[in-house]
Every structure is written in structure tokens, then in C-alpha cells.
Structure 1
Amino acid sequence: MQEPTINALVSPEGSLEILSNHEVSRLKDRSQGGLYRLFRQCALAVLNTGVETDDCKALMECHADFDVRLVPQPRGLKLELINAPAHAFVDGEMLRGIREHLFSVLRDIIYSHSIPQSAAGFRRDDPEDLTNLVFHVLRNARVLEPGRQPDLVVCWGGHSISQDEYQYSKEVGHQLGLRSLSIITGCGPGAMKGPMKGATIAHAKQRVKNGRYIGITEPGIIGAEAPNPIVNELVIMPDIEKRLEAFIRCGHGVIVFPGGVGTAEEILYLLGILLHPDNADLPFPVVFTGEKENAEYFEMIDKFIRNALGDEAASKYEIIIDDPVRVAQTMKKGMKEVETFRRAMQDAYYFNWMLKIDPVFQLPFHPNHDNMRALELHRDQPVHLLAANLRKAFSGIVAGNVKEDGIRQVQSKGPFEIAGDPTLIKPLEAMLAQFVAQNRMKLPGSSAYRPSYRIVSGAA
């Protein structure tokens, strides 16, 4: 049955009221170099806030007649929405949270595409310039709050989790909120929504009036992980690499719940950075946690990490099973250590400038069949570079699973091929098989998972 739609004229909600003629032209430009298609895709995703889907291509096709147009006004601008999903409205009025997200999308797309053009000498392959871009997008979105003590916990985990796993993530969020800690996630459902929901109740109990529920996403993933309704600060980073950097630059610690390939990608990104010698003494609490039934899952993750990256990588995190209170206490203690260290080093609380990130983690990886087949998955390289290449392998699988362009490539040319050192590839294949068996590749109730990858023998 066709979903009800509505036409509406929407005013800004505090994020962006004024655009230049050049910015308006770019947003209206429907050619390959214009921003219309990108803006339409992200706008449609936030209009589906609270709708659980993990197929960006299907979402776009389901709403093929949706359109968004800029309407200049004497005192600013409005957005005209054509055939917008009716569930984003109540009695003809758009939900305020969705309206905020809609203009956050407009704000971030305009800003992140303006900086490289307006900044003199900006280089897309320069590490310092890329970090500055991340900083400026976050600052423009008002995510960075000077003077606020470290309290932001990044929560990573799967969008496709069981109800019990969801309840556990919610209880962890509740314990974090009772200790006045706030939450950053990828903004979607599952383990991204649970901690936020738990924290909202705890913040109410503690009368925390400035609790933060920050969602950081990027255009390729937002259609597959539309913002959950609790997100009160939404940021659209230009790509997955800048999204991941934003998490660890503005977050003060990380909790990882059970998940699939996206979660594995995030873990490898984080460990690859923490393994850099320049970051050896930098406090950054990391906890892997789940309920009792998840003990084997984390044993599998731990075994894979120790085999691929060694025991030093495993020393960067603590595994805590079925103990939300201890998880929250560990994070609270870690926040104090972060605060003490940054005060001593005169580093900002709101942005981790001291963290060293190798350019290999910053430069965008474009998953296609040639790039996936050419990944250097062997041990004859520094361990942080191996982590980077393994991260790219998982990033490609994510693209083939849920991103519109990746799905089209797999449908057109078949699964991405992954090859390399058998001592790395065999454990990788086994772990991916477990993700599939545990339904961590697709939302419960959706159609059966068709692998976007194929493990092939022989080195790349």
C-alpha cells in the first residue's frame, strides 16, 4: 500500500535561515556536480526519522516522487516539500525535531561543501586540513562547547540487534545518564537508540537539563540509518572517514555493543589510531559490553583482534559482560583521567587536538570492485596500516549492504571480492559468517541477507 504523503512549506528551525545566491544555485543544481541529489537524499532520510530500514536504495525508490525545493523569502528562506512522508507531520505541522534535523542537513551540506572552495590553499589530502574541516563542521553545528567538562560517551553497536540486546544497551545508557554523562551515536536504531533512550530517563531523574544526544552520520549511511527520535543534535559529516574522526575528536570515551560489519569497521578504525606510537600515553577509555548471551560474541571479536593486530591492540579495551553499573563507573573514571590529562597538557576538552591520526585513516576510501580486490590484507606492514586496510574491507561490505551506490555496484557486477593472507582472511570469513548467522547484517523481519562480498583464495 502506498504510504500517505503531504505537501508542505516549512520554515527554518534555528540552524540556517540565509543562503547566498551561489549556495541556492548549487542546491538547485541537479547535475552530477550539484548538491540537489545529495540534499534530497538526506532530507528524505530525516523525514523518515523513527522508521527502521537498512536499505538506502529501497528508501529512495519507495519515495521516488518526493521533491524538495528552496523558496527564497524577503527575510530568509523556506523549504517546499512535495510528497513528503505524512508520518513526519501532526495535523499538518511538521514535528519540531524533524524540522530541526531537516535544516541541520541543509546547514551541514552547505557548510562542508563551502569550506574547500572558500579556504585558501585547502588540500583534500593534507591531514591538518582534513582535521580542520572536521573541527569547523562540528563548530558550525554548535556541537563543540567550550568550558564543559568531558562527559561525551560514544556508543557504537549494531542497528540489527535483538530486543534483549536493545534493553541492555538502554540500561547502560541509563547508568551513564545517572552519572550525568551524555551520549554520541551514529544516530540510528538498535544500539544507537538504546543508550540515548536510557540516558533521557536518567537525566530526568537527576534533573540534568542540558543532556546531549548527538547523532553523527554521513550522506551514504543516513538513508539506511535514519535518525532516531531522541537525537537532539544532528551532524552530517561529508563521508565515513570524517564521521569516524568526528566521533573520537569530540567524544571522550567509547562503548561498543554487539554489532555487525559497521561496528567492526568502527573498532578497527579506533584501534588503528590508538596503536599509533604518538597516542600511547593518551587516556581514552574503551569498553566492549553486552549481556551474558553476548560473551561468545565478544570472545570472537577479541580473538579476531588478537590474531590480526596482536595483544597490544587488545590492551586498548576492556570487556565487561552483563554489568551496566560497572560499565558506567569505568566510563566516569575514564572521564576524570581524560580531564586531568588534557588540563595538564593544556588541550581542549571539547576537541581532541592531540590525537594523532595517520592520513591513511583520513583519506576517503571509495568501495568498488577494483579497490576491494586490491586491499593489502597481509602482515608485511605496520600494525596500524593493517588495521586501516581491514577497516576498508569492512567499509566496503557496509557499502554493499546498505549504501545506494554500493548496492547498485553489487547488483550490477556481483559481490565485492576480498583476498589476502589466509591467516587473516580465514578468521575474517568465519567472523562474517557469524554475523550473518546472528542476523547482524539485516534488520529482523527483513528479507534474507544476500552477501555483498565474496572471500577468494590467494593474495591480492
Structure 2
Amino acid sequence: MTDSSSHHPHPGKVSARIAPAAGLDVLSRQEVARLRDASAGGLHQLLRRCALAVLTQGHVTDDPRAVSELYSDFEIEVLQQDRGVRLELTHAPAHAFVDGKIIRGINELLFAVVRDIVYVSTQLEGGSFDLASSEGITHAVFDILRNARVLRPNVDPNLVVCWGGHSISRVEYDYTKLVGYQLGLRGLDICTGCGPGAMKGPMKGATIAHAKQRLRKNRYVGITEPGIIAAESPNPIVNNLVIMPDIEKRLEAFVRAAHALIVFPGGVGTAEEILYLLGILLHPANADIPCPLIFTGPRASAAYFEQIDRFLRMALGDDVARHYQIIIDDPQHVAHQVVKGVERVRKYRLDNKDAFFFNWAMNIDMALQQPFRPTHEAMAALNLHRDQPQHEFAADLRRAFSGIVAGNVKIEGMRAIEKHGPFLIRGDAEIMQALDALLASFVSQQRMKLPGGAAYEPCYRILAG
């Protein structure tokens, strides 16, 4: 059952009462009350924002305020009835419905939103998550993924995490589909940040390949967090959505669940992901743990990866390049290398009695786990100097990119920039010069914002010192 009733208040919007197509069945009265609570301590605004992001999938914008204004009269209410949970939607986007019935995939993602918001808030309120220790944070990430049924026992390693930008060219998008297709032909599942562009393409390609191979129960996992979901709405192929509490737990979830990682062209968000992972791989405790990492794109993107590689080598030393391969314009070779890498991971996990479904062995420092709130003060205080261990420097570089992401597409960050001006980022002169050049190239290649809107206004200023 999907809808018990629906009507059209005016063109382009629909009101309906929906039941879960799968998964969530019941909630406690206390959980329902918190989801209805619109006060500062309640969960209603978070629920509304995430639900609207799911319902507006396919709406091309990276300004979450534009979607919010377009559907300013949208409302969602959680009902606990004798037959179980229902969602009352008012003035919801009509394209989420067909002949008055909500699309099943959107239904599933809506109830995944409810599930994760309720579970995380309940665990936090009950003190079940120990967020004061590194081990406790990792267990929290595990618990959220397990509750979302992302972790599958008795299955050989096959989950490939794909990172890349939401604002990419058509040529780059088509290439991500070709790579996804080659991965899918080899029985590999896909995990991305769940949005458009390089997050959608690999799933789309893999879907066709899985169908050709008659593979069923395939995973198209989308991992997001509340601060970015409105700017990167879940694409319609995602069949397993997880909303982590913050960007750090989102990034750790990618690394813990992955058996291999592919990076497609992107912007500052992709650079943040790369630096987060390298901050882990450069740690001496992780020296012997296999983590296949491939940078790839079409021929037209070769210069992009040359820039990334040059910046990483300059900032972190030439030795950093041993942690990744760069493969240009060869989807089949990418897939071959991923298969080899996944087999190395499988053998390592067997030899070390580690789980296939969760990378417990990887050491992740608290510095990479603790939420970074990119205020103007915090951005100015970043230690962007080489006189520290490589992995710690990578962690601070990652925070710099995280702040720029916030200033570009997150509501709080955009408001802070409007109120106080651009973030000031300081560090070693040579590194700041290289960082400025890298960011300028992202702007010129339209990798900062989706094309078609207003000209990009940098949310940062790079200073030496």
C-alpha cells in the first residue's frame, strides 16, 4: 500500500497520506511527538528538510534555499495509527507522484529519513553513543549503518564507493556511467554520496549491467548528512539511503563500508573526501591495510587529475602518490583494477579475521572524527603549515575544503558568509599559492556551483602567513 488518499491543492503540488512500502512499521508515542515537535529541541524541521530533499529529487540546484522557497508551504506530519506509521504530506512536489500514488522508491527513501532521524536522536538522547572516544564514534557509525541494513554478512566484499562532483560536464557524467557499467558487469555494488552528477552516474551504469547479468538484490547505497542533503537530493536509483548525523561520520561510514574507492572529477567536496582518506592512509598505523583508491575520468579531465596530483604531492610529499592510481579514459581497466584491489581486501580480511562488511582494522584519529564547525574563527585558526606529521596536515587541509563546501552549499555556511564576508584561510605561502590556483581552476571549470545560476562568488580568501 502506498497512498490511502491524495488530492491536488494546486498545479505542481500534491497532498497525500502514505504508508511505508517497506521497512519502518511502528514508532513509539515519544518518537512521534519528537518528530512533530517544531521547537529548537524537536526533530520536525530536520524531518521536513530531509523529506523535502527526497521529494524534490531531480530538481537541479545547489542552493538549498531555492528549494525551500519554492515549496515554502510544504508540510509533513507523522501519524501513528492502529495499522502503523503514516506520513501526511501537504503541498508536496507533484513529480514525486504518478496518478496520485507516490513513486515506490521515493516512498522507501522518505521512511528511511524517518528511521535514521528517530534512531540517531534516540541513541544520542539515551546516551547509547559514546562520542567522547574514537572507538565510541566508530561504534556509532557501525550502529547507524547496521540499523539501516547496509551491512550484509555472509557476502564477499563487493561494495565500491564512488566520489565525485555534483557539478560535472556531460562528458564526465557519461564516463561515470561507463565505469559503473563495467563494475556492474563484474557483480560489484555501488555506494555514493547519493546526489546527482558523479554520485548518480555510476549507479545508473551499474543498474543496466546488473540487469544484463540478471543480478538481483543489488545495493545502490547513498550516504548523506542533514547539512548537505537539501543541496544534493538523493537520486532515484538509491535503494538504501542512510542519513549520518554529520559530515565526519558520513566520511567514516564510506571508509568503513568500502572495499574499494573511485574518485571521479569534482570540486571542493571531492577534494575534501580525498584529503580525508589520505589523512587516514598516511597514518603509520594503517601502513599495511589495503585500501584500493583510483582517480579516473575521461580524456577531457586529464588536466583536472594532474592538478589534484600536483597539489597533493606538493603539500604532502611525492610519497603520497603510492596510495592512489590515476587511470584516464579506460573504464574497463578501472574495473579490472578494482576487482584486483577488492580481492586483496578480501584476502587481508580473511588473514586478519576482520569482517567483510565493516573495516574495523582501519585506524581513524579523533582529529578526523570530531565534527568541524566551519565558523570564521575556526577557519582562520586552521594549521596549514608543513611542520607537523603528514596525516595531521592532511586532516587540517580537509577542514579547509570542508569550510568552503559549507560556504558554497550549506544553509548555515551561506548565511555566515553573507553576514561576515568570506572565510580567511592562512598557511605556508607556497601551499596557499597552490591552493589558490587549485580553487581558481575549480571556479573556471564551473566545479564550484551548478552551471546556469548566478556567477560564483568565492566564499573564501587565501592568505599567506
What is the TM-score with the length of structure 1 in the denominator? 0.97
Q: Would you say 1:99 and 2:107 are equivalent positions? A: yes
Q: Which structure 2 residues correspond to residues 27-426 of structure 1 after superposition, within 5 A? A: 27-119=35-127, 122-426=129-433
Equivalent-residue separation in structure 2 for 1:309 and 1:13 (angstroms)? 49
> Which stretch of structure 1 is more off in the superposition, 348-357 or 16-25?
16-25
Deviation at residue 242 of structure 1 after TM alignment: 0.4
Equivalent-residue separation in structure 2 for 1:210 and 1:68 (angstroms)? 30
Q: Which amino acid aligns with 1:443?
A: L
Unaligned runs of 5+ in 1: none
Q: Which amino acid aligns with 2:104?
A: R
Deviation at residue 112 of structure 1 after TM alignment: 1.2
CA contact (8 A) 2:276 2:394 kept: yes
Deviation at residue 119 of structure 1 after TM alignment: 4.0
Equivalent-residue separation in structure 1 for 2:120 and 2:273 (angstroms)? 22
Deviation at residue 393 of structure 1 after TM alignment: 0.5
Question: What's the CA shift string for 1:60-89, capped at 9, x where partnerless?
Answer: 122111111112201322111111111111
Equivalent-residue separation in structure 2 for 1:252 and 1:6 (angstroms)? 41
CA contact (8 A) 1:189 1:227 kept: yes
Q: Which amino acid aligns with 1:72?
A: Q
Deviation at residue 52 of structure 1 after TM alignment: 2.1
- Secondary structure of the 2:168 match is coil
- Secondary structure of the 2:378 match is helix
- Secondary structure of the 2:427 match is coil
CA contact (8 A) 1:3 1:85 kept: no
- Secondary structure of the 2:200 match is helix
- Secondary structure of the 2:402 match is helix
RMSD: 1.2
Deviation at residue 3 of structure 1 after TM alignment: 6.8
Q: Would you say 1:450 and 2:453 are equivalent positions? A: no
Q: Which amino acid aligns with 1:451?
A: P
Q: Which amino acid aligns with 1:260?
A: G
Equivalent-residue separation in structure 1 for 2:385 and 2:304 (angstroms)? 25
Equivalence for 2:4: none
Equivalent-residue separation in structure 2 for 1:252 and 1:418 (angstroms)? 34
Question: What's the CA shift string for 1:329-376, capped at 9, x where partnerless?
Answer: 000011111101100101000000001000000000001111111111
CA contact (8 A) 2:32 2:79 kept: no
Equivalent-residue separation in structure 1 for 2:58 and 2:199 (angstroms)? 12
Question: What's the CA shift string for 1:287-321, capped at 9, x where partnerless?
Answer: 00011111111111001001111122211000001
Deviation at residue 150 of structure 1 after TM alignment: 0.5
Question: What's the CA shift string for 1:363-412, capped at 9, x where partnerless?
Answer: 00001111111111111111111111110110010011001111111111
CA contact (8 A) 2:162 2:192 kept: yes
Paired residues in the alignment total 456
CA gap of 1:385–1:3, structure 2 versus 1, over 3 A, is farther
> Which stretch of structure 1 is more off in the superposition, 327-336 or 52-61?
52-61
Equivalent-residue separation in structure 2 for 1:9 and 1:100 (angstroms)? 14
CA contact (8 A) 1:57 1:403 kept: no
Equivalent-residue separation in structure 2 for 1:147 and 1:10 (angstroms)? 34
Equivalent-residue separation in structure 1 for 2:168 and 2:224 (angstroms)? 19
